[in-house]
């Protein structure tokens, strides 16, 4: 049997693109911090990215991990195919290649189906589903040429069970689409040594929970077998596993990070 080589720095010198990481409370930032600690070179993409945010994010990240890291931060609206292509081209021009994409960009709105207007529906779908499709397509052009690469997309428990916690039916539908899209990528690109997996988080301590009152949050926590919400670092750990060689024979998988609230 072929020996598997283990190393502490699971992503040493790997170039990893992470979307939706401008906020230090986000899953994207938590993933970036953990990846940098494991030796990754980072490309951070976010709609709100600017020079000040980039400087603050880099300083905070390097303080947290206690070392310098190779990082570029770029403004990118994932709803635009042109913007995604431009950002990926800049990343390749800077680092020479891309090894991994972790797509954390997303938005949520909580409202009943009869209250969802066309504008809100389009916005949710454009960011969560079309945006995921766009950035995956841009990165897959690079991966297909090099015949290697890893994609980790973030969906949601809402996409598995049909909402019910945070987010309306349009949010659930968009995240269900991300699950199906990721499986389709995995099937089509596996012969090129390209892996794609999806993570379905629930109740992670991010700004998405800010809209819940303490009472609402406590009511949800009671239904979580682990009796707490998750931390961004715990979700980042799942991303690290899927991005690294530790998951080399895993593709098309859906990984639950939900504290046991949806065991199926």
Query: What is the per-residue pLDDT across 245-259, written as a single tens digit (0 to 9) for each?
Result: 999 999 999 999 999
What would the mean pLDDT of 60-79 be, rounded to a whole number?
Answer: 97
**What is the reported pLDDT for 65?**
96
**Catalytic residue selected from 6, 29, 121, 171:** 171
Question: Residue 16 is encoded by which pair of tokens?
Answer: 């990893």
pLDDT exceeds 50 at position 1: no
C-alpha to C-alpha distance for 206 and 227, rounded to whole angstroms: 17
Q: Residue 169: phi, psi to the nearest 5?
A: -65, -30
Q: Where are the domains of the chain?
A: 15-256
Sign of the alpha-carbon dihedral angle for 245, 246, 252, 258? negative
Question: Residue 55 is encoded by which pair of tokens?
Answer: 């400087």
C-beta of residue 197 within 8 angstroms of C-beta of residue 242: yes
C-beta of residue 105 within 8 angstroms of C-beta of residue 131: yes
Per-residue pLDDT tens for 73-128?
A: 999 999 999 999 999 999 999 999 999 999 999 999 888 999 999 999 999 999 99
Query: What pTM was computed for the model?
Result: 0.94
CA 210 to centroid of chain Cα atoms: 19
User: Is 171 an annotated catalytic residue?
Assistant: yes
**What is the reported pLDDT for 78?**
98
pLDDT exceeds 60 at position 7: no
Local confidence band at 6 (pLDDT 50, 70, 90 cut-offs): low
Report angle CA 88, 104, 51 to the nearest 5 degrees: 60
What would the mean pLDDT of 148-156 be, rounded to a whole number?
Answer: 98
Report the percentage of the chain scoring pLDDT > 70. Answer: 97
pLDDT exceeds 60 at position 184: yes
Report the percentage of the chain scoring pLDDT > 90. Answer: 86
- E strand intervals along 63-193: 71-75, 100-103, 149-154
**What is the reported pLDDT for 28?**
97
**What is the reported pLDDT for 213?**
77
Residues near 98 by beta carbon (within 8 Å), at least 6 away in sequence: 15, 16, 17, 43, 88, 91, 92, 139, 142, 143, 149
CATH of 15-256, one of 3.30.565.10, 3.40.50.1370, 3.40.50.300, 3.40.50.720: 3.40.50.720
């Amino acid at each position: 049997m072929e020996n598997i080589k283990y190393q502490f720095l699971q992503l040493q010198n790997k170039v990893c693109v992470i979307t939706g990481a401008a906020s230090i409370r986000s899953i994207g930032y938590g993933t970036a911090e953990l990846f940098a600690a494991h030796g990754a070179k980072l490309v951070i993409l976010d709609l709100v990215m600017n020079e000040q945010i980039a400087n603050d994010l880099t300083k905070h990240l390097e303080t947290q991990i206690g070392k310098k890291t190779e990082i570029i931060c770029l403004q990118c609206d994932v709803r635009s195919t042109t913007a995604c292509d431009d950002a990926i081209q800049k990343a390749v021009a800077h680092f020479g290649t891309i090894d991994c994409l972790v797509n954390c960009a997303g938005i949520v709105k909580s409202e009943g189906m009869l209250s969802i207007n066309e504008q809100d529906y389009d916005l949710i779908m454009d960011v969560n589903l079309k945006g995921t499709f766009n950035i995956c397509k841009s990165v897959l052009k690079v991966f297909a040429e090099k015949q290697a690469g890893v994609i980790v997309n973030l969906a949601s428990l809402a996409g598995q069970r049909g909402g019910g916690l945070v987010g309306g039916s349009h949010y659930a539908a968009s995240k269900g689409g991300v699950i199906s899209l990721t499986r389709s990528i995995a099937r089509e690109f596996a012969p090129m040594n390209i892996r794609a997996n999806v993570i379905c988080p629930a109740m992670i301590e991010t700004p998405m929970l800010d809209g819940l009152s303490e009472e609402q949050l406590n009511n949800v926590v009671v239904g979580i077998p682990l009796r707490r919400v998750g931390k961004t670092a715990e979700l980042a750990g799942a991303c690290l596993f899927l991005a690294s060689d530790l998951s080399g024979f895993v593709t098309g998988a859906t990984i639950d990070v939900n504290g046991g609230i949806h065991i199926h």
